[in-house]
Structure 1
Amino acid sequence: MDSGHQNVVVMRHGDRIDNFEPLWTEKADRPWDPPLVLDGKIRAFCTGKKFSNNKLGFPIHRVFVSPFLRCLQTASEVIHAICAVDDNVNQLSSADGVVIDPSKIKVSVEYGLCEMLNKQAIRAANAPKDGDFAFNITECEAVLPEGTVDSSVERVYEELPKWEESTEGARGRYKDIIKILADKYPTENLLLVTHGEGVGTSVSAYTPDHLTVYDVEYCAYSLLQRPISNKEDESVTGSAFEVILDQGYTGILLAPAED
Structure 2
Amino acid sequence: MDSTTKNQTPEYYQNVVVMRHGDRIDNFDPLWIATAPRPWDPPLIKEGRVRAFSTGRKFRNLFGYPLHRVFVSPFLRCIQTAAEAVIALSAVDDNPDALTGDSVTIDPSKLKVSVEYGLCEMMSRMAIKLEVAPKDGIWGFDISEREAMLPKGTVDNTVERVYKELPVWEEELSRTRARYEQIVKDLADKYPTENLLLVTHGEGVGVALSSFRKGAVVCEVDYCGYVELRRPIFKKDQSFTAGEFEVLTNAGQTGVKYSDLKDL
Range of TM-score over shorter length = over 0.9
Do the aligned partners of 1:131 and 1:162 also contact (CA within 8 Å) in 2? Answer: no
Q: TM-score, normalised by structure 2?
A: 0.93
Which residue of structure 2 aligns with residue 141 of structure 1? 147
Show CA shifts across 1:187-221 (max 9, x none): 00000000000000001111132x11001000000
Alpha-carbon distance between aligned partners in 1 of 2:254 and 2:213, rounded to the nearest angstrom: 17
Matching of residue 30 in structure 1 with residue 38 in structure 2: yes
Q: Which amino acid letter does the alignment assign opposite residue 210 of structure 2? A: S
Q: Which amino acid letter does the alignment assign opposite residue 141 of structure 2? A: F
Matching of residue 212 in structure 1 with residue 214 in structure 2: no
Do the aligned partners of 2:73 and 2:79 also contact (CA within 8 Å) in 1? Answer: yes
Secondary structure of residue in 2 paired with 1:219: coil
Alpha-carbon distance between aligned partners in 2 of 1:99 and 1:213, rounded to the nearest angstrom: 37
Q: TM-score, normalised by structure 1?
A: 0.95
Matches within 5 A, 1:1-259: 4-53=12-61, 55-95=62-102, 97-209=103-215, 211-232=216-237, 234-246=238-250, 249-255=253-259, 257=261, 259=264
Shift of 1:25: 0.8
Secondary structure of residue in 2 paired with 1:138: helix
Do the aligned partners of 1:64 and 1:193 also contact (CA within 8 Å) in 2? Answer: yes
Show CA shifts across 1:107-162 (max 9, x none): 00000000001001011111011222110110110110000000110000001001
Do the aligned partners of 2:68 and 2:194 also contact (CA within 8 Å) in 1? Answer: yes
Alpha-carbon distance between aligned partners in 2 of 1:20 and 1:195, rounded to the nearest angstrom: 17
Shift of 1:236: 1.6
Shift of 1:43: 0.2
Alpha-carbon distance between aligned partners in 2 of 1:156 and 1:126, rounded to the nearest angstrom: 27
Shift of 1:93: 0.1
Secondary structure of residue in 2 paired with 1:104: coil
- Call closer, same or farther: CA 1:123–1:188 in 2, change over 3 Å: same
Q: Which amino acid letter does the alignment assign opposite residue 238 of structure 1? A: A
Q: Percent identity?
A: 59
> How many pairs align?
254
Alpha-carbon distance between aligned partners in 2 of 1:252 and 1:11, rounded to the nearest angstrom: 10
Do the aligned partners of 1:183 and 1:237 also contact (CA within 8 Å) in 2? Answer: no
Shift of 1:246: 4.0
Show CA shifts across 1:152-192 (max 9, x none): 10000001001110111100000000000000000000000
